[in-house]
Amino acid sequence: MPATDDRMGTPAAKLPDLIHQLDEKEVNRRGFVGMLTGLTVALLAAATPVAGKLLGLSEDRGEASPGRAPIARVEDVPVGKAVTFSYPTPDDPAILVRLESGEFRAYDNRCTHLECPVYWDARDNLLRCPCHEGHFDPTSGKPLAGPPRRPLGGIRISVADGVIYAVGRYEA
Ligand code: FES
């Protein structure tokens, strides 16, 4: 007869504990697999905007989608001209430029150095910051000269029925 250990009980007495432990392991394994499946679905949904929206798990990430806002009529912004506007809120100054190609570009008009407002310099064909002579490329928003090292924040543009709209932001 095997020696018994009072702390552990007899082999027969251990059986219910062993079964209980096995059940817990099964539950834990099932729980773990379930959690892993849920996590995988959440990650896929977050990485896939359409699936994320269907499941209500994600918004547009990084590129916030603050909505569509009219800026100006196309005929009011001839080639080589610019207009200022606010987007997405009245506290977010922005600038729209019509390039020589006829295309529009829009940017947050806070300089990426110390946030002075940039303005359109049509003569030199660049966006200029008056504070420390920062220059930005109107085609890309990238810094060309001066202390700024980061591009201006970009604003997506859409044109419909002769009206130019701001439709979102992006990192240039
Ligand atoms: S704030 Fe624009 S260059 Fe310094």
Same domain, residue pair 49 and 86: no
Q: Is residue 61 part of a domain?
A: no
Structure confidence by residue, pLDDT tens digits, 151-162 = 999 999 999 999
Same domain, residue pair 78 and 28: no
Sheet strands (E) in the chain: 69-73, 82-86, 93-98, 104-108, 119-121, 126-129, 134-136, 143-145, 153-160, 163-171
Per-residue pLDDT at 68:
95
Residue 107 confidence (pLDDT) above 70: yes
Going from the Cα of 21 to the center of ligand 1, the distance in angstroms, rounded, reads 67
- This prediction's pTM: 0.64
Same domain, residue pair 50 and 76: no
Q: Ligand 1 atom closest to Cα of 111?
A: 2
Same domain, residue pair 154 and 75: yes
Structure confidence by residue, pLDDT tens digits, 118-165 = 999 999 999 999 999 999 999 999 999 999 999 999 999 999 999 999
Same domain, residue pair 78 and 140: yes
Number of domains in the chain: 2
The whole domain housing 25 covers 11-55
Q: Is residue 5 part of a domain?
A: no
Q: Ligand 1 atom closest to Cα of 114?
A: 1
Structure confidence by residue, pLDDT tens digits, 52-83 = 343 333 333 344 457 999 999 999 999 999 99
